[in-house]
A and B are shown apart, each in its own frame.
Chain A
Amino acid sequence: SYELTQPPSVSVSPGQTARITCSGDALPKQYAYWYQQKPGQAPVLVIYKDSERPSGIPERFSGSSSGTTVTLTISGVQAEDEADYYCQSADSSGTLWVFGGGTKLTVL
Chain B
Amino acid sequence: QVQLVQSGAEVKKPGASVKVSCKASGYTFTSYAMHWVRQAPGQRLEWMGWINAGNGNTKYSQKFQGRVTITRDTSASTAYMELSSLRSEDTAVYYCARDVLDCSGGSCAPVGTFDIWGQGTMVTVSS
Interface residues of A (CB under 8 A from B): 1, 30-31, 33, 35, 37, 42-45, 48-49, 54, 86, 88-90, 94-102
Contacts and interface: CB of A to CB of B under 8 A. Distances in A.
Given A95-B59, A99-B45, A100-B44, A88 B112 contact: yes
B104 interface: no
B118 interface: yes
Contacts of A86: 44-45
Interface of B: 35, 37, 44-47, 50, 59, 61-63, 95, 97, 109, 111-115, 117-120
Contact of A42 (B44, B47, B95, B111): B95
Contacts of B117: 42-44
29 contacts: A30-B112, A31-B111, A31-B112, A33-B113, A33-B114, A35-B45, A35-B114, A37-B45, A42-B117, A42-B118, A42-B119, A43-B95, A43-B97, A43-B114, A43-B117, A45-B115, A48-B115, A49-B113, A89-B112, A95-B59, A95-B109, A96-B47, A97-B47, A97-B112, A99-B44, A99-B46, A99-B47, A100-B44, A101-B44
